[in-house]
């Protein structure tokens, strides 16, 4: 929490703006009026800034002290510490994700997605699996032969899908996946279905899953989305035809009761097997094309008016009766643009946008590949042993003499040995799978990483907003380290200083009137009576008492709390019921349990807490004390001088 608070405090506190009109100096370092006002107004957030003299003075004192501490952290070179460098790098990478995009490309993709949402496409497809990093040649040859058989040999697409597709979900349907809308599939698949005419088959294309063919069966205008409720009766496959007959009989009963006027919601509770909607009146989440099996989807969209109820619909899951709640046509672009933007940024097309952006970055920075040098790397790594303990493993150190550039970017050569070192880190020194394919994928990742790192660092130079955020975060984590060294850890570790601080103000840490002893909470009256009998044996230790009471049959018979209690907060047993060295009678409390107290000692006057008893309070106050001392040291080291005339020019009454 402290680190977060400090980092938030720095937001808006840093700027390199230089102005001739100096508001104040600290240790001779100037801060301009313009800079102060920018920060002051930014930290006012949505509130109207208070330009009264008192408010400005209070903020100037806070801001100048902040600048002194940042200077102190810089003087101690805290930003060179490994942990701070690591945190800065992580923050830069996270922050840069919001900047390393081509806004123009992203906006085009958002509009493209919306335009595609206006149309739904009925598709069948064939998939030959070939995950990234595998040998693509065999998979491509197979999909290409299927493509030629369908487009030139007259083979039936559905029959070929049943025979060859590796998509288990659509295999039995001849590859038919129903209607699809934009933003429902990976981007390469979506591109193919929207580019292919009705009745035609696409050329083979690749996604992260493998190679695909798609056949477009039908296109229609978007039906939007629909919200329905359902009563579902399961047809478990384990019960076979008998189960289907029983389900049909049950759904017929639902239909009959609906005709008699029994409310739909009442029948949901009585009959529906859908555990996800049975307690919601059968209401399902709103859905559009491609989200449900076709028979269910068509029945739902076929209902005309809210309140209309369908005939029983059979799916692989069972029988359904559907009630229409409301229909939602596609909304205007402006109203759903933010929603589409979020989906696009989290969709596989975001990678396409990033690749297009990086292509511009590579072109701008003179990217040039040396394919021959890369072939030498592939050749060298292809000679790894295939068997034994060292199978497929390599060490970058064995290739340190391979020093030809594999590519050049921004005037810098990236050598073969650099890439192999990256490959060792990336693959943990093991190349599983076809060597050329695996090394090729790692090489693409290496280029992306180098380009990304280059552009991240360029952002600091070229983007003022990014630079300000990085400077603010840098100041925040340096201040955290500085505060930890001078205040927080020091207060905890300086045992002598803490003890002296405590001894100088013992009277601040007092117990109010109360007692020491043990508080027993029994779960019921019988357990309490049993416990009181045992407590008559004063030699019985508490751990033995607990073992006797909390048995396997009744593990929660009693709880015991030992310590120092104050009457002000302890209400279960009254003071007049307590006697030193005695056990009180049981008292029934509001939680239904019985409280018994064994009183070791009574205190009717305040008594001092030991350092250990008051440690939390003492450490907190000692931290405040150390921080005040440290603040004064900073003010002495960096003397503050305010230009009164400039300050008064900011005051508004």
Sort 208 into a burial class: Cβ within 10 Å, 0-12 / 13-18 / 19+: exposed
Residue 296's nearest CA partner among 128, 453, 440, 178 is: 178
Q: Which of 11-15, 466-470, 540-544 has the lowest mean pLDDT?
A: 11-15
pLDDT given for residue 134 in this prediction: 56
Cα separation, 176 vs 583, in Å, equals 79
Q: Is the pLDDT of residue 378 over 70?
A: yes
- Cα–Cα distance list, 401 to 54, 208, 375, 397, 450 (Å): 68, 35, 16, 9, 21
Q: Confidence class of residue 404 from pLDDT cuts 50, 70 and 90?
A: very high
Round to whole Å and give the CA distance between 640 and 634: 10
Mean pLDDT calculated for residue range 631-651: 94
Residue 189 scores a pLDDT above 60: yes
Residue 256 CA: distances (Å) to CA of 253, 259, 282, 311: 5, 5, 18, 11
Instruction: Kindly report the average pLDDT of the chain as a whole number.
Output: 88
The 412-415 sheet, strands edge to edge: 368-369, 405-409, 412-415
- pLDDT band of residue 12 (cuts 50, 70, 90) is very low
Percent of the chain at pLDDT exceeding 70 = 96
DSSP 209: T
Residues contacting residue 281 through CB under 8 Å, at least 6 positions apart: 229, 264, 265, 268
CA distance 215 to 554: 67
**pLDDT single digits (tens) 568-591:** 999 999 999 999 999 999 999 988
Q: What is the mean pLDDT of residues 347-359?
A: 80
Q: What is the pLDDT of residue 35?
A: 86
Q: What is the pLDDT of residue 1?
A: 39
179-183, 263-267, 297-301, 459-463 — which is least confidently predicted? 459-463
Query: At residue 20, does pLDDT exceed 70?
Result: no
pLDDT at 416: 94
Kindly state the average pLDDT of the residues 488-496.
Answer: 84
What domains, with CATH codes, occur in the chain?
1-99+464-505+611-653 (1.10.4030), 119-221 (3.10.50.40), 225-328 (3.10.50.40), 365-462 (no CATH), 510-608 (3.10.50)
Of 207, 230, 564, the residue nearest 352 (C-alpha): 207
Per-residue DSSP letter, 581: T
In which region does residue 366 sit, left (phi positive, over 0), alpha (psi from -120 to 50) or beta (all else)? Answer: left
> Using CA atoms, how far apart are residues 541 and 561, in angstroms rounded to an integer?
14
Q: Is the confidence at residue 249, as pLDDT, over 80?
A: yes
pLDDT at 6 over 80: no
pLDDT score of 372 more than 50:
yes
- Among 273-277, 296-300, 304-308, 341-345, the minimum mean pLDDT is found in 341-345
pTM of the complete model beyond 0.75: no
Mean pLDDT of 164-185: 91
- Average the pLDDT over each of 14-28, 208-222, 234-248 and give the range with the smallest value: 14-28
> Of 626, 631, 648, 514, which Cα lies nearest the Cα of 574?
514
Distance set, CA 251 to CA 233, 234, 298, 318, 447 (Å): 7, 10, 19, 10, 60
What pLDDT was estimated at residue 355? 80
Question: Which H or E run includes 190?
Answer: helix 187-195
Does residue 156 carry a pLDDT above 50?
A: yes
- pLDDT band of 256, cuts 50, 70, 90: very high
């Amino acid at each position: 929490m402290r680190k977060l608070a400090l980092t938030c405090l720095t937001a808006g506190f840093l700027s390199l703006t230089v102005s001739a009109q100096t508001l104040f100096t600290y240790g001779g370092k100037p801060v301009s009026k313009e800079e102060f006002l920018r920060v002051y107004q930014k930290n006012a957030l949505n509130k109207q800034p208070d330009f009264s003299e008192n408010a400005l003075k209070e903020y100037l004192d806070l801001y100048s002290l902040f600048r002194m501490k940042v200077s102190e952290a810089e003087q101690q070179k805290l930003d060179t510490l490994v942990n701070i460098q690591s945190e800065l790098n992580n923050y830069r990478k996270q922050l840069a994700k919001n900047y390393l995009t081509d806004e123009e490309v992203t906006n085009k993709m958002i509009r493209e997605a919306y335009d595609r949402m206006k149309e739904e496409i009925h598709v069948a497809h064939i998939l030959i699996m070939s995950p990234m990093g595998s040998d693509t040649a065999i998979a491509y040859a197979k999909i290409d032969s299927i493509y030629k058989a369908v487009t030139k040999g007259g083979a039936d697409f559905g029959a070929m899908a049943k025979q060859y597709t590796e998509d288990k979900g659509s295999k039995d349907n001849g590859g038919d996946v129903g209607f699809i809308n934009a933003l429902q599939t990976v981007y390469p698949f979506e591109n193919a279905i929207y580019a292919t005419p009705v009745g035609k088959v696409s050329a083979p294309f690749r996604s992260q899953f493998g190679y695909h063919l798609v056949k477009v069966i039908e296109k229609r205008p978007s039906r939007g989305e629909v919200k329905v409720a359902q009563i579902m009766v399961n047809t478990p496959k384990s019960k076979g035809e008998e189960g289907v007959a029983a389900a049909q009989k049950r759904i017929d009963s639902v239909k009959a009761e609906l005709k008699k006027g029994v409310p739909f919601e009442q029948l949901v509770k009585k009959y529906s097997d859908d555990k996800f909607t049975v307690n919601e009146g059968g209401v399902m989440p709103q859905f559009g094309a491609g989200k449900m099996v076709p028979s269910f989807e068509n029945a739902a969209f076929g209902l005309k008016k809210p309140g209309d109820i369908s005939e029983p619909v059979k799916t692989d899951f069972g029988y359904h009766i559907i009630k229409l709640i409301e229909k939602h046509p596609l909304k205007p672009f402006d109203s759903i643009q933010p929603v589409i933007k979020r989906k696009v940024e989290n969709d596989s097309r975001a990678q396409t946008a990033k690749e297009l952006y990086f292509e511009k970055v590579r072109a701008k920075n003179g990217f040039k590949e040396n394919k021959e040098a890369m072939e030498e790397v592939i050749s060298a790594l292809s000679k790894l042993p295939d068997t034994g303990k060292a199978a497929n493993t390599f060490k970058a150190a064995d290739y340190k003499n391979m020093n030809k550039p594999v590519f050049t970017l921004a005037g810098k050569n990236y050598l073969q040995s650099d890439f192999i070192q990256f490959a060792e880190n990336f693959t943990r020194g093991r190349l599983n799978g076809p060597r050329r394919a695996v090394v090729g994928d790692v090489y693409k990742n290496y280029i992306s990483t180098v380009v990304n790192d280059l552009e991240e660092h360029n952002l600091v130079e070229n983007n003022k907003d990014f630079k300000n955020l990085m400077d603010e975060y840098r100041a925040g984590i340096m201040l955290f380290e500085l505060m930890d060294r001078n205040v927080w850890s020091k207060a905890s570790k300086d045992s002598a200083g803490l003890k002296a601080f405590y001894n100088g103000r013992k009277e601040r840490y007092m117990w109010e009137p109360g007692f020491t002893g043990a508080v027993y909470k029994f779960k019921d009256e019988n357990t309490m009576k049993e416990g009181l009998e045992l407590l008559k044996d004063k030699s019985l230790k508490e751990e033995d008492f607990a073992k006797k009471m909390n048995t396997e049959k009744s593990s929660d018979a009693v709880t015991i709390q030992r310590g120092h209690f104050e009457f002000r907060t302890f209400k279960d047993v009254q003071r007049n019921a307590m006697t030193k060295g005695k056990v009180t009678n049981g008292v029934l409390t509001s939680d239904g349990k019985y409280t018994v107290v064994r009183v070791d000692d009574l205190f009717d006057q305040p008594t001092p807490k030991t350092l250990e008893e008051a440690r939390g309070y003492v450490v907190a106050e000692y931290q405040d004390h150390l921080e005040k001392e440290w603040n004064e040291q900073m003010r002495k080291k960096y003397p503050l001088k305010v230009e009164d005339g400039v300050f008064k020019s900011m005051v508004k009454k």
